[in-house]
Structure 1
Amino acid sequence: MLDTSRGEPPAPTDEQRGCLYALSQPPLMIFLAVIGSLLLMAAVHDLFLL
């Protein structure tokens, strides 16, 4: 016969993490800062030096 007794529910193994958790990681922030600074330097070069 099948055991249909109600035991304790299994504990969740991992919490769902959203986009803000991913953006708070240091390697990603460094990468985005480098890309942003390159874009800013290109924009300043185009506006003021050409």
Structure 2
Amino acid sequence: MQETSRGQAPAPAPERRGCLFALSQPPLMIFLGVIGCLLLAAAMHDLYLL
């Protein structure tokens, strides 16, 4: 436990960044978009051409 009786304020906690922050990054969204398009193309191929 921290000692705060000397008039010192406790240090602020570091800012947490969750999953929504990670998903907001453009390179990740581009990568996921490309993978999604490839999966969609493969599904359409299987459904309509095979």
Structure 2 residues not aligned, in runs of 5+ = none
C-alpha displacement at 1:45, in angstroms? 0.2
Percent identical residues: 65
State the 4+ residue runs in structure 1 displaced beyond 4 angstroms.
none
- Cα RMSD for the two superposed structures: 1.4
| TM-score, L = length of structure 1 | 0.77
Name the count of aligned residue pairs.
46
Supply the distance in 1 between the matched residues of 2:26 and 2:12 (Cα, whole angstroms).
Answer: 30
| TM-score, L = length of structure 2 | 0.77
C-alpha displacement at 1:7, in angstroms? 1.8
Structure 1 residues not aligned, in runs of 5+ = none
